[in-house]
Structure 1
Amino acid sequence: MKAFCFDVFGTVVDWRSGIAREAAGFFSRYGLAGIDPYEFAAAWRTLYQPAMEACRSGKRPFTRLDILHRENLVVALGNYGVDVAQLDTNALDQLNTAWHRLDPWPDVVSGLTRLKQHYIIAPASNGNIALMVNMAKRAHVPWDAILGAEVTQAYKPSPPAYTRMVEILGLPSKDVCMVAAHNSDLHAARECGLSTAFVARPKEHGPQQASDLEPTEDWDIVARDFDHLADLVLPKN
């Protein structure tokens, strides 16, 4: 393998805690103390796939994730009975960019820094370029390149999201390893000829998480975390 490409939301960063943290501040500012920030983070996230499916299905042109997130934010707040028209637009925009300020899991920076010594490392995310760059700058994530939906003009798990990424890297499909905490993402990548690596993130959805706790297929690599992934694939001295 020559390159490792990573799912980001859930695999690289803890989106649930980061969104809940910023939502809590927003709710406090506007006197919305009755909304649980973790519940809200999950509710906002549930609108993610349907919004992308509209682009995947051709019902709307490809639209970058920042815009989809902003539309979904209005819907999510409305579902909690919040009159968005009464809120400051700049504050809503700031909350929307909470996705740019998510924290990586503790093993991410050290593991990626080690992998970078021998392999190309890049996000294979549905996030847009500005989101990925801002996140990486803040969290010191050492990507070699920013890949993903805005580059490929396709949202995972649509096949072009993987095949165009491979074409951009100029590598054979099997030389590119998709790394994800989501079995469905790896299944789609394998169908496109990529190698696969599963890294479980049992806290992604909180203490009641019931999915993706273990690999559901015989992936090429199964690792505990990114440091373990580096241990498995880096040359031994």
Structure 2
Amino acid sequence: MTSDALEKVGFLGFDVFGTVVDWRSSVARQAEPFLKRHGIDVDPHRFADEWRALYQPAMEAVRAGKRPWVKLNILNRENLEAVLARHGADVRQLPETDLADLNRAWQRLDPWPDSVAGLTRLKRRFPIGPISNGSIAGMMNLARFGGLPWDVILGAEIARSYKPQPQTYLRSAEAVGLPPERVAMVAAHNADLVAARALGLRTIFVRRPREHGPGQTTDLEPASDWDVVAQSLTEVADALGCP
């Protein structure tokens, strides 16, 4: 179901990690040979979960002003080393080429099965792009890896802030020349949409009930009356009348 308010939307901004791409399975797949090669005894999916669990705390240090702005790939690398050390690895003894390559796993994430088709249809009617916490280079490489047809890359790096800080959304809207009410945020995470709506953006919730694996307990249902609620990006395209 859709809202008349979306008729004036001129840009669709997307959360990427979890909404457009399946980070958990993708990171686990790429971590598995690394862990085996270096004798690190941890299940690859657990490893992916632990790495991801440090994502928000690392960004919060930047949001709270406890450290200067740094790009997400730097935070990911620090978090990677922390998780490896937790499982007994001496990071100083691991080859830098292996560590750097594993850190780039976040640029090689598989799209959900509906993502490319849904984005392609949505792009026929709307300009589209990420409003993501990822860096511009990371989003560019991820788009090339997964065939994501973005028109532009927005989000954290252009704002030098991480969601849900207001400037991440507002400076993204400003960059495409639109007021917030003419931008719709598309996300699988209710908190992302709460922050976007508070600033006047329109909201589209996409269910991703397996983002965190079969035991997921968060974001299974919409937490509010978002403008669109859908099961997939192709369903979003249906709701917005995209051929």
TM-score by length of 1: 0.97
Q: In structure 2, what is the equivalent of residue 158 of structure 1?
A: 165
Which runs of structure 2 are paired with 1:20-169 in the superposition (5 Å)? Answer: 20-32=28-40, 34-169=41-176
4+ long deviations beyond 2 Å? none
Alpha-carbon deviation of 1:235?
Answer: 5.5
Alpha-carbon deviation of 1:31?
Answer: 2.1
Query: CA separation in 1, counterparts of 2:137 and 2:63?
Result: 21
Q: In structure 2, what is the equivalent of residue 222 of structure 1?
A: 229
Any conservation in 1 of the 2:122–2:242 contact (CA below 8 Å)? no
Q: In structure 2, what is the equivalent of residue 172 of structure 1?
A: 179
Alpha-carbon deviation of 1:223?
Answer: 1.0
Alpha-carbon deviation of 1:234?
Answer: 2.0
Query: CA separation in 2, counterparts of 1:76 and 1:29?
Result: 16
Can you list the C-alpha shifts for 1:78-117, whole angstroms capped at 9, x where unaligned? 1111111111111000000000000000000001001111
Alpha-carbon deviation of 1:169?
Answer: 1.2
- The answer to whether structure 1 residue 183 and structure 2 residue 194 are counterparts is no
Query: CA separation in 2, counterparts of 1:210 and 1:53?
Result: 22
Q: What is the percentage of aligned positions where both structures have the same residue?
A: 56
Equivalent position SS for 1:154:
coil
Equivalent position SS for 1:197:
strand
Query: CA separation in 1, counterparts of 2:116 and 2:79?
Result: 30
- The answer to whether structure 1 residue 9 and structure 2 residue 17 are counterparts is yes
Equivalent position SS for 2:111:
coil
Any conservation in 1 of the 2:180–2:199 contact (CA below 8 Å)? yes
Rate the CA distance shift 1:178–1:208 in 2: closer, same or farther, 3 A. Answer: same
Alpha-carbon deviation of 1:148?
Answer: 1.2
Query: CA separation in 2, counterparts of 1:61 and 1:168?
Result: 23
2:47 maps to a residue whose letter is F
Q: Which ranges in structure 2 are unaligned for 5 or more consecutive residues?
A: 1-8
TM-score by length of 2: 0.95
Equivalent position SS for 2:112:
coil
Q: Which ranges in structure 1 are unaligned for 5 or more consecutive residues?
A: none
Query: CA separation in 2, counterparts of 1:184 and 1:31?
Result: 38
